Structure 1
Amino acid sequence: MRAAAPAVVALGGGHGLSASLSALRLMTDRITAVVTVADDGGSSGRLRDELGVLPPGDLRMALAALCDESDWGRTWRDVLQHRFSSTGDLDQHAVGNLLIVALWELLGDTVEGLDWVGRLLGARGRVLPMSSVPLLIEADVVDRTGATRRVVGQSAVAATTGTVAQVRLEPADPPACPEAVAAIEAADWVILGPGSWYTSVLPHLLVPGLKDALHRTAARTIVTLNLASGESGETAGMRSEQYLDVLRSHAPELRIDAVVADPTAVEDVSALSARTADLGARLLLRQVSRGDGTARHDPLRLAGAYSDVLDGFLGDVGTRENPPE
């Protein structure tokens, strides 16, 4: 057993981030989730448009994933996740989205509002937005004829058909959440993925303050690949090694130390091994799925995989070769 629980920062959004947080909470309570704020659909999109706030949905899901495993924590988690069903304006609004936005209005501070919800849930960690302003995702998408079109909005990019060639943020130089930057700089480990690659994982690397922090930190970086490689929408037809190519093309200076993948989702183990080695990283192939035929991570198995990676580097944390100045 480790002398001290590691400080871990998990970057992402939606169900992918919830999967990594559900695993990490079994290993440590020193968790910081840094969450995308580009959602423009559903309840989050409506609140964003109407009130000019950060979209709260992915933040809500991360808080729910970190809730205390007591009756109190689970009950408040269920309250947060509950959606109204009506013929009026409340239809499909999540209670947690409304609660978070209400706290933001009352307190006048985004981070403080999220911390209050975390205390209500007894959250095993902290949830922060990646930026202090709402973001818009734009993508250049190449169709089967070779023509390139611009797709605007997270929901539109996530559902796009074609090959995503490039992703941008609007504004192009958004301010990073200062607490998120500080968490990355102080971390022992940073987790990227799983999740929607272009709309949940990659955007963190496009926020200059976060990207610079990832270059400065002494933390090791683990990339967790998705269970459904080549899934429909934004990553349709992508092979496992191409997920790493996307990270490299958008953030060529990012240091990757380990890659975790489920062998059932890897088309060519040799290709993925070679690409991982090219990055100077270690590849861990391990069943991390639930094994019920669905593309869902098993928290205990994923936690076991993370623990094996951490154990493999034990003693090296904070001593990366040639750390950036």
Structure 2
Amino acid sequence: MSTGSFKHTLRRIKNFKLYLGLTHYRSPRMVNQWFKWLAPGLFVKRWMAISATGVLVASLGLAIWTGMTPIYYILQLLKNFLGWITTVIPNYISGPLMIALGILLVLWSQTRSLNSISEAFHPAGDEQLIDRLLSHRRLLRGPKIVAIGGGTGLSTLLRGLKQYSANITAIVTVADDGGSSGRLRREMGVLPPGDIRNCLASLADEERLLTELFQYRFTAGDGLTGHSFGNLFLTAMSDIEGDLEQAIAACSKVLAIRGQVLPATLTDVHLWAKLADGRRIHGESSITEAKGKIVTIGCIPPNPPALPKAVQAILEADFIIIGPGSLYTSIIPNLLVPEIAEAVASRNVPRIYVCNIMTQPGETDGYSVSDHIKAIDKACGYQLFDAVLTQGTVPSAQALIRYAQENSHPVTLDRDSVKQLGRRIVMSNIMDVDEKTGYLRHNPYRLAQVLLRWYNKN
């Protein structure tokens, strides 16, 4: 029976309840919640049917075992009882009344049992357990998405993507050597956890308190100032579990994330860049501070081995997204792992690059969209994506003035050059203004919506 037929039956029952004056029994919202359990894909109806079949089979077994004697007397007793009822109350009244009473008892018992389950598994939230189950089933049917990058750009993207799929793999750079991550890397000898922490927090299943705790940054304390709790937690787990991969898996369980976060490599990678003026700069944070035009970028050791799970995720992906994020210090470091770039290039699935909205001083001064594409192609030697997503509207005058003071300008879209590079152009308004800082950011929800719409068309 379809959900529509069930709802029609429900309306008939509701009308009968009105006739009997039982309107206080159940609110429309509660009834609606109950019928959600009959929605397709939850695998509830089949188990209810199997349970009923089990009761029937067990009854038949009992009848066979006992020679049907108890069953015969029970049926005779039931027949006599029903006959007596019809002598007191006519069958055209007693019949519908018993049917309605039976249905009400079933609805009442099912609701009480389901409410008990809901309270046990989800006691604190306003959202009903059935709504969470429906959402969970929908997300599990989502496409297998691989997002490659780092920094705030990737974590912003993930925050939007998790609304559409639970099959997300974030492949994150481990070349960071600044801030809290850099200090832990130098002092503890661990891979930098900062970008990974941000991605884990973005994919967390709306556990607000845990996420805030993971992102909490110490502002006082000898040696603690500047560190985030999540970085320290990941560092401690790396020591306990033996490597960063196992530490991420443990943190993923704590935060109940949708999908998985994987480092591109477990090798201790350090970036270097050769500038147009001949300088050779070592270290991710030093490259940006050098304020020069980057000609070549590489890493030490060269050609680091990829994490096997990351390669496997790419080879199984339905949709691959590169960026957004700092071109030379967040995106390209992942592609300097040869197996990552080769795996992406080998896939015949929708692949798109999300270009930055503004140029980044010390990295992409004066860069157009095609310059970003050329830099990625040059770094890995492959054409990794089919299309590029760019911001469709110009930022406000106030934002332009603010950025111009920092020598940052909008990334211009040079259509002809992009088309000559064999890339399709996708334009949309995916920009937001951070109210705290005034900086431009990708809106995570509009960005994800545009990307999924483009994926569904390809």
From 192, 196, 199, the equivalent of 2:322 is 192
2:340 is equivalent to residue 210 of structure 1: yes
Aligned equivalent of 2:424: 282
C-alpha separation between the residues in 2 aligned to 1:169 and 1:138?
Answer: 6
Map 1:222-301 to 2 at 5 A. 222-228=352-358, 230-264=359-393, 268-269=412-413, 271=414, 273-290=415-432, 294-301=439-446
Extract structure 1 runs of 4+ deviating beyond 6 A: none
Work out whether residues 223 and 256 of structure 1, in 8 Å CA contact, stay in contact via their aligned partners in 2.
Answer: yes
Map 1:1-325 to 2 at 5 A. 4-69=141-206, 73-142=207-276, 147-228=277-358, 230-264=359-393, 268-269=412-413, 271=414, 273-290=415-432, 294-313=439-458
C-alpha separation between the residues in 1 aligned to 2:216 and 2:385?
Answer: 37
Unaligned runs of 5+ in 2: 1-137, 395-409
Work out whether residues 150 and 325 of structure 2, in 8 Å CA contact, stay in contact via their aligned partners in 1.
Answer: yes
Aligned equivalent of 2:61: none
Q: Percent identity?
A: 37
Aligned equivalent of 2:45: none
Deviations 1:203-254 (A, max 9, x none): 11111121221122333211000111x2322112212221111112223322
Question: 1:17: Cα distance to partner?
Answer: 0.7
Question: 1:3: Cα distance to partner?
Answer: 10
The 1:160/1:23 distance shift into structure 2, 3 A limit, reads: farther
SS of the residue 2:198 aligns to: helix
Q: Which structure carries more helix by proportion?
A: 2
Work out whether residues 259 and 283 of structure 1, in 8 Å CA contact, stay in contact via their aligned partners in 2.
Answer: yes
SS of the residue 1:275 aligns to: helix
C-alpha separation between the residues in 2 aligned to 1:118 and 1:132?
Answer: 18
Deviations 1:111-153 (A, max 9, x none): 22101111111111100101111210100112xxxx2111110
Work out whether residues 214 and 254 of structure 1, in 8 Å CA contact, stay in contact via their aligned partners in 2.
Answer: no
C-alpha separation between the residues in 1 aligned to 2:344 and 2:188?
Answer: 32
Deviations 1:262-318 (A, max 9, x none): 02366654x2x32332333321110001156631111121012102211220xxxxx
The 1:172/1:267 distance shift into structure 2, 3 A limit, reads: closer
Letter in 1 for 2:256: G
The 1:90/1:256 distance shift into structure 2, 3 A limit, reads: same
TM-score by length of 2: 0.63
Higher relative contact order (CA 8 A, sep 6+): 1
TM-score by length of 1: 0.88
Question: 1:60: Cα distance to partner?
Answer: 0.4
- Of structures 1 and 2, the larger Rg is shown by 2
The 1:52/1:164 distance shift into structure 2, 3 A limit, reads: same
Work out whether residues 289 and 362 of structure 2, in 8 Å CA contact, stay in contact via their aligned partners in 1.
Answer: yes
Deviations 1:22-64 (A, max 9, x none): 1211221110011000111111111111221111111101101
Letter in 2 for 1:309: W
C-alpha separation between the residues in 2 aligned to 1:173 and 1:155?
Answer: 21
Unaligned runs of 5+ in 1: 314-325
C-alpha separation between the residues in 2 aligned to 1:37 and 1:61?
Answer: 13
Work out whether residues 137 and 152 of structure 1, in 8 Å CA contact, stay in contact via their aligned partners in 2.
Answer: yes
Work out whether residues 12 and 204 of structure 1, in 8 Å CA contact, stay in contact via their aligned partners in 2.
Answer: yes
Work out whether residues 369 and 418 of structure 2, in 8 Å CA contact, stay in contact via their aligned partners in 1.
Answer: no
The 1:188/1:41 distance shift into structure 2, 3 A limit, reads: same
Question: 1:87: Cα distance to partner?
Answer: 4.9
Number of aligned residue pairs: give it: 303
Work out whether residues 223 and 259 of structure 1, in 8 Å CA contact, stay in contact via their aligned partners in 2.
Answer: yes
Deviations 1:68-108 (A, max 9, x none): 12xxx121111111111125111111100111111111111
Aligned equivalent of 1:323: none
C-alpha separation between the residues in 1 aligned to 2:417 and 2:254?
Answer: 43
Letter in 1 for 2:164: M
The 1:152/1:287 distance shift into structure 2, 3 A limit, reads: same
SS of the residue 1:104 aligns to: helix
Question: 1:109: Cα distance to partner?
Answer: 3.4
Letter in 1 for 2:424: R
Letter in 2 for 1:140: K
